[in-house]
A and B are shown apart, each in its own frame.
Chain A
Amino acid sequence: MYYKTASYRAFTVFNYVLLTVICLSCVLPLIHILAVSFSASAPANSNLVGLWPIGFNFDAYAKTLNNPNFHNALLVGLQRTVLGTVIGMSIMTLAGYALSKDTGYFKSRSIYMWYFLFTMLFSGGIVPSYMLIRELNLMNTMWALVLPVAINVFNMVLLMNFFRAVPKELEEASLIDGAGHFRTLFSIYLPVSMPAIATISLFTMVMHWNSWFDGLLYISDYRKYPLSTFLQTVIVQQDFNKINIDVNELKNISQRTVKSAQIFIGTLPILLVYPFLQRYFVKGIILGAVKE
């Protein structure tokens, strides 16, 4: 057998080492940040911390969580995620169900399909979108963050494909028993496709939690920033003109340990849902790749 030869054994050792190194490169940056966030500020500021905290303490987290601006942004970020996921999922589930019907039965289906798919191919770009939100008086509201991204065509197609995988007999039985389409969706389709709904909800939640640019574009009042936008302004751009803070707080925020703590809290929700996320998305991708 090939794997008993000396050269293949040498390759295997090399391969395991290489894959381990690559894999570590994906995890170590986060561990480094975590270590810095738990360290005392002196070793952190002089870049002595590697992968293990020096002078372990919770100081940075205490300062971060006592910062009213951070508090507020965290709350707005959570609100946005919940509201956006609920609205987006409701709209996409309804549409996904309708689009899962055969063209023979639902004649306008292909028109709707192209109507949605075209938005994946071409878009107005950021300037007209920005002007639209201004004209609609949605600036500085939560709706500007929730409504424009309510429909993700890719996720909607995924939902549609999941619904298509539901056995036709279930639908026929329910329709013949006198249920309408709404009843069929809520009593038959939703219960059997809960795993799919959960998966796409997770995708949507992650998208909302990670979105930062729309906050920067559509919201000028820093008290209404979601967490991602807040972190972008304070840590990446280090733009404190927009944010009203006193000198003491500024000193706190610019400490490396506090920055790291903020970064880590910003990543925490993703890490929490990641085990569930990664169990499903491989399946999702392959399902989404199946043509209609």
Chain B
Amino acid sequence: MKIHADRMIVRERQIISQILEGGNTVDNVVRKPLKNSNKMRKREREKLSRTWPLHMMLLPAAIITFIFAYMPMGGLVMAFQDFKPYDGILGSKFVGWKHFEFMFQYPDSKEVIWNTVIISSLKIVFGLIVPFVFAILLNEVRKIAFKRTIQTLVYLPHFISWVILGAILTDMLSSKGIINSTLISLGIDAVPWLSNGNWFRFTVVVSDIWQNFGFNTIVFLASLAGVNPALYEAAEVDGANRWKQTLHITVPAMIPIAVVVGTLSLGNILNGGFDQIFNLYNTLVYDKGDIIDTFVYRTAILNGQYSFGTAVGLFKSAIGLVLIVISYRMAYKFAGYRIF
């Protein structure tokens, strides 16, 4: 760039001296440098519009994604085969829809799908209500330091893995654990939190909400931060008490984002939460607590029924995809929300 600027200065001086000498016409003098700078500009523009470095930057990510995300999708043909690891995908025999038909006849897999839907629906519904109410309650706190402390601490469980949380919960909820011994000392019977099917579902839903409500409160608090304080003042002047203000100002301000969060979580209806269930369940509660993902892991990886496991997994992914597309459309229609 420096050279370029120097050259410009030289040209300018030449032009000025030529004009002063009255030799060449202005036209002649000006044309030459114009040509040159056009060429240079073109070269520069070419360099600026070069996008191959961008393709190079995307190459590693594209390759990794191809190998570890798209190649397994190709592997889904296993669901239509009688896959034997020895024969490989290319050598295994095709059997059509056999595994899918078997899935719908096999009582265990029907039970598992049903469990998944129940557990995840409960998680979705209460996972929406609890942060909603919590955000309202937190919004009423006027001591900033108290509010900050609460917010900081309730996020914590979200970042701890289910291995740790599972270990802690199994310890605390066992028949002699701290929760049951407290209950007994209060004269209440011990509760089979993790060994009775219905209690297991209860424990799973409550502990999931416990882990995530703090984190899910963030979006609601963000939507409350955008409410115009003048609305509350006007309501105050009009004689509305705080409950009426909450009902008619705070809640309506949070409804759009609640609709978005609710519809988007529809795509999760076949995700019961593998990490959580796997670290909490035991053979006693398989009938009420086993979900699709844990079932697939046991049948395919532990028992070697690879094709059947793949078929169940494919069923789940396909339904999931359809639900996600529908819920995104709905979120856009109801709340004008677009992700992509």
| Pairwise interchain contact A125-B316, C-beta atoms closer than 8 A | yes
Given A212-B163, A266-B163, decide whether A94 and B61 contact each other with a Cβ distance below 8 A. yes
Whether, in the assembled complex, B54 has its beta carbon less than 8 Å from a beta carbon of chain A, the answer is yes
Contact of A8 among B65, B69, B157, B242 (CB under 8 A): B242
Report A22-64 residues with CB < 8 Å from chain B CB: 22-23, 25-27, 29-30, 32-33, 36, 47, 50
| Pairwise interchain contact B159-A274, C-beta atoms closer than 8 A | yes
Could you mark each residue 1-34 of chain A with 1 if its beta carbon is under 8 Å from any beta carbon of chain B, else 0?
1110100100110011011101101110110110
| Pairwise interchain contact B164-A26, C-beta atoms closer than 8 A | no
Query: How far is it, in angstroms, between the C-alpha of A8 and the C-alpha of B51 when the chains are bound?
Result: 62
| Pairwise interchain contact B164-A267, C-beta atoms closer than 8 A | yes
| Pairwise interchain contact A112-B58, C-beta atoms closer than 8 A | yes
A213: chain B residues at CB < 8 Å are 274-275, 278
Given A3-B142, A134-B85, decide whether A127 and B296 contact each other with a Cβ distance below 8 A. yes
Could you mark each residue 234-278 of chain A with 1 if its beta carbon is under 8 Å from any beta carbon of chain B, else 0?
011000000000000000000010011001001100100010011
Chain A proximity of B131: nearest CB distance (Å): 11
Interface size class of A (residues with CB under 8 A): 35 or more
Chain B proximity of A121: nearest CB distance (Å): 5
Given A23-B154, A47-B181, A206-B159, decide whether A98 and B57 contact each other with a Cβ distance below 8 A. yes
Could you mark each residue 57-100 of chain B with 1 if its beta carbon is under 8 Å from any beta carbon of chain A, else 0?
11011101101111111111010000001001100000000000
The stretch that binds A, out of B5-13, B26-34, B114-122, B214-222, is B214-222
| Pairwise interchain contact B310-A12, C-beta atoms closer than 8 A | no
| Pairwise interchain contact B64-A210, C-beta atoms closer than 8 A | no
Contact of A116 among B65, B274, B293 (CB under 8 A): B65
B169: chain A residues at CB < 8 Å are 29
Chain A facing B: main interface SS: helix
Report A206-233 residues with CB < 8 Å from chain B CB: 206, 209-213, 217, 228, 231-232
Query: How far is it, in angstroms, between the C-alpha of A18 and the C-alpha of B236 when the chains are bound?
Result: 26
| Pairwise interchain contact B163-A231, C-beta atoms closer than 8 A | yes
Whether, in the assembled complex, A177 has its beta carbon less than 8 Å from a beta carbon of chain B, the answer is yes
Whether, in the assembled complex, B20 has its beta carbon less than 8 Å from a beta carbon of chain A, the answer is no
A178: chain B residues at CB < 8 Å are 1, 47
Chain A proximity of B329: nearest CB distance (Å): 13
Interface size class of B (residues with CB under 8 A): 35 or more
| Pairwise interchain contact B58-A95, C-beta atoms closer than 8 A | yes
Residues of B that sit less than 8 Å from A by CB? 1, 44, 47-51, 53-55, 57-58, 60-62, 64-65, 67-76, 78, 85, 88-89, 134, 137-138, 140-142, 146, 149-150, 152-157, 159-161, 163-164, 166-172, 176-178, 181, 210, 214, 218-219, 222, 236, 241-242, 245, 274-275, 278-279, 293, 296-297, 300-301, 306, 309-310, 313-314, 316-317, 320-321, 324-325, 337-340
8 closest A-B pairs by beta carbon, nearest first, are A124-B72, A128-B75, A125-B313, A210-B161, A95-B61, A128-B72, A181-B53, A119-B69
Residues of A that sit less than 8 Å from B by CB? 1-3, 5, 8, 11-12, 15-16, 18-20, 22-23, 25-27, 29-30, 32-33, 36, 47, 50, 90-92, 94-95, 97-99, 101, 105-108, 112-113, 115-117, 119, 121-132, 134-136, 147-148, 150-151, 156, 175-178, 180-182, 185, 206, 209-213, 217, 228, 231-232, 235-236, 256, 259-260, 263, 266-267, 270, 274, 277-278, 281-282, 285-286, 289, 291-292
